[in-house]
Amino acid sequence: MTSNDDAPALAPKTFRFSDVDEFRNAIRGLNFEFTPFVRKIAAEQTILQLPGCDVNVTLAFPRAVDAQLVADCTAVGFAMDDLDVPIRFNGAQRSRAVIVIGSSGAAYNTIEEVQRQIASVVFRPEVKDRGWPETNSSFKIFETSPLALHWLRRAVREVVAAASEPIDPAEVALKAAAMKETLFGAVDAAFANIVPARWTQRPNDERQFKMFQDIRALLSNDLAQPIYSEEMARKLGLSVRTLHDVVRRYRGMSLHRYLRLRRLWLVRRRLLAGAESVKAVALAFGFWHLSDFSRSYRDQFGETPSQTLALGRSR
């Protein structure tokens, strides 16, 4: 990880990551869990801290993300690019002008299939008096006008650029307050220009999202044990068909493919920590066919499990 730590007080800080675990440990303000879809990453995160407001612009990498916002804040998120490959957010996938919002404790899920540039503006304390959409246990997604999204993106870029310029220390507080007000105004406009769209009803359904969260919790608890669809469905009070449909909707892949991918990453983390043996870790995470496991591991990470273990022991 590299950063420009010598920047002046108001200036944004930029961090660059080539290691998945370094990126994981750098996330702030969220209870954050993700599964990468790629072997190597080249991520970048720019953070601007203003009084009562943080601006984050992240060049991310293909991954599945599960996150929950911390207490006493409101976060607004949106893509800074216009790629044809949309982000799947809370099970919805649309390449339109969308904006998401969550407040204290709200959770969300995303599937990012390609590298994207994403921005979030986090206000502290929680915003309650500006007429923004209310959220409960999950983030909500809305379609806004392309022009309103354009102005929101522009506000973020201009604020980050202006904060990078030399500032008279006597003017820092005034300039920071004005920047925050600019961001408030841009978010106000985005929500004032919400486009009524039927497709947003499903991802904003609290009941559907809770069903997914229950499935994810069960998968997290049982991840190192053999997992069978019928037993999972029985524990959750769902049909097997509903179980598979919900996982495919929120994960963008089959239940078994996702579990296998996530197990491989968990095995890698254990090997890098200097595990006792490759065989012991593979068996602990449900890989009983060791030759098939080794082949899948090499295909995913470009190296053998033994090479990863040797790297972990050498650190």
Instruction: Tell which of 200, 215, 237 closes a domain.
Output: 200
What pTM does this model have? Answer: 0.82
- Do 158 and 24 belong to one domain? yes
Task: For residue 103, give every residue at least 6 positions away whose Cβ sits within 8 Å of its Cβ, in sequence order, or none.
Answer: 69, 73, 74, 75, 126, 127, 134, 135
- Do 133 and 215 belong to one domain? no
**Longest alpha-carbon distance in the chain:** 66
Picking from 149, 174, 184, the residue whose alpha carbon sits closest to that of residue 74 is 184
Domain span at residue 176 reads 2-200
pLDDT for 4 equals 54
For 71-91, write each residue's pLDDT tens digit.
999 999 999 998 888 899 999
- Do 257 and 169 belong to one domain? no
For 231-251, write each residue's pLDDT tens digit.
888 999 999 889 888 888 888
CA distance 184 to 191: 11
For 132, the token pair is 């923004």
Give residue 208's pLDDT band: very low, low, confident or very high (50, 70, 90): confident
Count of Cβ atoms closer than 10 Å to residue 132 Cβ: 20
Instruction: Tell which of 200, 234, 256 closes a domain.
Output: 200
69, 30 in Cβ contact below 8 A? yes
Domain count, the chain: 2
Instruction: Tell which of 185, 200, 215 closes a domain.
Output: 200
Residue whose token pair is 């984050």: 56
pLDDT at 194 over 80: yes
- DSSP string covering 223-234: TTS---HHHHHH
280, 220 in Cβ contact below 8 A? no
For residue 16, give the CATH number of its domain: 2.60.120.10
How confident is the model over 191-201, as a mean pLDDT?
92
- Do 69 and 140 belong to one domain? yes
3-state class percentages of the chain: helix first, strand second, coil last, to nearest 5: 45, 25, 35
For 71, the token pair is 């207490």
pLDDT at 7 over 70: no
CA distance 184 to 166: 24
pLDDT at 309 over 60: yes
For residue 292, give the CATH number of its domain: 1.10.10.60
Instruction: State the chain's mean pLDDT as an integer.
Output: 88
